[in-house]
Amino acid sequence: MIKYSHKFLKVKLADLPEEIKSRKNGDWHFIQMCCTKTETDHELVYSFIKNGVHEDFVVNVKDKDKVPSITGDFIAAFVFENEAHDLFGIKFIDLAIDFKGKFYKLAKKEPMEVVTPEVIARREKQKKIEAAMAAKKAKDANKATTDKKAKDNAPKAKTEEKPASVASMAQAKKGEGE
């Protein structure tokens, strides 16, 4: 019976190629690679197994970093690396099968991010501001339309003179003689 053990190992980005080569040369099996967005950078976790021993390499990656692809040693990693590129924006170099950002058809570029309560509150506030601005714009447009209709339908002031009645003419002459 094989005894199972598991450990996480912190690996520097610069040391990743050497660690990958040692796993390949030691007949380790690549399981998967996953990516997580942290508050300050990204965390890549590469998983390997051999004879019941499971090891995860944890690599911290900054946005500007270029990560050496492990597909030269473990071709199955192309799926995980293309996924990390499309979802998180991780830049890989020497990727054996590179979909160039088209592995997934996404509505938003690099959609994976940390959603903290602060981020949610900011988004909700922005939505309320946008809704209020849209409502004000609609109200102003409606008022302008209503004002124009009211002006167009208002009775026009008559400027033509009415013929004077005989009584009013007599009254006017009487006033002239006094």
Q: Is 156 contained in some domain? A: no
Same domain flag for 97 and 118? no
Q: Is 171 contained in some domain? A: no
What pLDDT score was predicted for residue 92?
96
Residue ranges with strand state E in 19-69: 29-37, 42-50, 53-61, 66-68
What pLDDT score was predicted for residue 46?
98
| Structural domain count of the chain | 2
30 closest CA partner among 88, 69, 62: 69
What pLDDT score was predicted for residue 126?
84
Q: Is the pTM of this model over 0.85?
A: no
What pLDDT score was predicted for residue 59?
97
- Please tell me the distance from the alpha carbon of residue 49 to that of residue 6, in angstroms, as a whole number: 9
H or E element at residue 126: helix 117-153
Could you say which of 109, 127, 152 is where a domain stops?
109
Expressed as residue numbers, the domain containing 87 is 5-109
Q: Is 165 contained in some domain? A: no
Could you say which of 109, 133, 160 is where a domain stops?
109
Q: Is 37 contained in some domain? A: yes
Same domain flag for 82 and 119? no
Same domain flag for 31 and 118? no
What pLDDT score was predicted for residue 141?
84
Same domain flag for 102 and 48? yes
With beta carbons less than 8 A apart as the criterion, state whether 104 and 88 touch. Answer: no
Task: Please give the chain's pLDDT, 178 residues, in tens.
Answer: 778 999 999 999 999 999 999 999 999 999 999 999 888 899 999 999 999 999 999 999 998 999 999 999 999 999 999 999 988 989 999 998 877 766 666 656 655 665 667 767 777 888 899 889 889 988 888 887 777 777 777 666 655 555 556 666 656 666 655 5
